[in-house]
Structure 1
Amino acid sequence: MPTKSVDGYEIEYTGELLEGTKQWGAYVSIFAPSANPMHMTHIYPKRRVSADLTLMDQHAAEAEAERVALKVVEDLRA
């Protein structure tokens, strides 16, 4: 699962093959820093970025998940 760190937020994003199809879904999970430096706070549990969006391969799904995750983090910082 690819991860990215942006302004202290830990982003996990992935593409997963959708059950019973040959198409992929994009999934995101986001963690924020906590008062305890040994732990992160899970502020955005893993979820599919859009129930209506299917993609043709894992790479495309991961790229879409990363795009959405960066938008979510931007909104959180605002």
Structure 2
Amino acid sequence: MPIEYIGEYEINYSGVPLALVKGWGAYLTIYAPSSNPMHRYRVFPGRRVSVCSVFGSEAEAEAEARKVALAMLALGKHH
């Protein structure tokens, strides 16, 4: 699972094999810092994004999840 830091946010994205169809789903979690250094505040819970899309590879699904994260952070839609 790739982890990337953008500003104060930590994004975790991954490609996960789908159970009912052949292909990969794009999954994303976004964290923000909290006042407790041992804790992260989850502002976007881990879930599948671009749910109508099935990707041919794990890398394609990861790229889609990253693209969604960047768009959400740019638009402030993570809260």
For the criterion TM > 0.5, the same-fold answer is: yes
Structure 1 residue 7, shift from structure 2 partner: 0.5
Q: Which residue of structure 2 aligns with residue 45 of structure 1? A: 45
Q: Distance in 1 between matches of 2:56 and 2:24?
A: 6
Percent identity for Structure 1 against Structure 2:
44
Q: Distance in 2 between matches of 1:32 and 1:20?
A: 33
Q: Secondary structure at the match of 2:15?
A: strand
Q: Distance in 2 between matches of 1:67 and 1:51?
A: 14
Q: Which residue of structure 2 aligns with residue 16 of structure 1? A: 16
Q: Which residue of structure 1 aligns with residue 5 of structure 2? A: 5
| CA deviation map 1:42-67 (0-9, x unaligned) | 11001111221111110100011111
Q: Secondary structure at the match of 1:13?
A: strand
RMSD of Structure 2 on Structure 1 (CA): 1.4
Q: Secondary structure at the match of 2:53?
A: coil
Q: Which residue of structure 2 aligns with residue 75 of structure 1? A: 75
Amino acid at match of 1:41: Y
Q: Distance in 1 between matches of 2:51 and 2:6?
A: 25
Structure 1 residue 36, shift from structure 2 partner: 1.7
TM-score, length of structure 1 as denominator length:
0.90
Runs of 4+ residues deviating >4 angstroms: none
Q: Secondary structure at the match of 1:64?
A: helix
Q: Secondary structure at the match of 2:76?
A: helix
Give the gaps of 5 or more residues in structure 1.
none
Amino acid at match of 1:46: G
